[in-house]
Amino acid sequence: MPAKVVVIGSLNMDLVTRAPRLPRGGETLIGESFATVSGGKGANQAVAAARLGAEVSMVGCVGNDAYGAELRGALLAERIDCQALSTVEDSSGVALIVVDDNSQNAIVIVAGANGSLTPQVIDRFDAVLQTADVIICQLEVPDATVGHALKRGRALGKTVILNPAPASRPLPADWFAAIDYLIPNESEASALTGLSVDSLASAETAATRLIAMGVSKVIITLGAQGSLFADGSRLEHFPAPKVKAVDTTAAGDTFVGGFAAALAAGSSEADAIRFGQVAAALSVTRAGAQPSIPTLSDVQAFKAP
């Protein structure tokens, strides 16, 4: 049977514009292009896991609008099971994204229908969770729902991943025992620990603090510097493949989806991290969120320059 990944989380329509640089407060810039692209951290991670070899189910909510139909259609086109994707009386979530000439981005999210993903919805689709090898959650849906999903995943004996994004504060302490892998980026690790995380050395300090707070295993993604793994007994740095970045949107989501797909398929932690890093590296060479996510054959064919 194929490895099974269940993603519980958000779906957003990304409204993407490119500009020479990110605007300052009160400033109006002339943009260079505009596109609407299916996204949302949950949906992106679902697409990544599906393209990278896993059988995937999505648990989430979309609105009863044109964006909702398009978001559902994008998942179905990837052969993602949408039986647990509910349509609600609301607008679909949106993300307003500006990408600059250095491939950095700034994002504003409006939750919309994602706010309707409640613990009761999770319970209604418990049979879907029971089929999982790996369950992935993020923070673009209500905190109560995330906590409930993490604990239900632990009760079912599943491998549970939390990508704490977007993070603006420490996580509830009672979540930690339910998480197998916490996967923040540098800014998220900083928000969770109160430490400045801007180098490999500071990432090691943050990872050590997260372990002390009760996290079992931590992977801090460091962009072009790769990622840092910690489990309380060791710290290991995994350098990133060298590529020319075009757009970093969804790179973190691609890593999470790729790591989960590889882990569910039986890869070791180290091999799953390396697999996720190659997938993420390929994604930054392409524009957009879901359009940038590579396939399993892309990753298998990748050769570092």
Active site residue 180: no
Torsions phi, psi of 34, nearest 5? -145, 140
Residue 120 annotated as part of some ligand binding site: no
Residue 143 annotated as part of some ligand binding site: no
Residue 213 annotated as part of some ligand binding site: no
Residue 147 annotated as part of some ligand binding site: no
Residue 292 annotated as part of some ligand binding site: yes
Environment class of 283 (CB within 10 Å of its CB; exposed 0-12, middle 13-18, buried 19+): buried
Residue 124 annotated as part of some ligand binding site: no
Residue 68 annotated as part of some ligand binding site: no
Residue 286 annotated as part of some ligand binding site: yes
Residue 114 annotated as part of some ligand binding site: no
Residue 295 annotated as part of some ligand binding site: no
Residue 247 annotated as part of some ligand binding site: yes
Catalytic residue among 65, 133, 253, 271: 253
Distance of CA 15 to the CA centre of its chain: 18
Residue 41 annotated as part of some ligand binding site: yes
Annotated binding site for ATP: 185, 221-226, 252-253
Annotated binding site for K(+): 247, 249, 283, 286, 288, 292
Annotated binding site for substrate: 12-14, 40-44, 140, 253
Catalytic residue set: 253
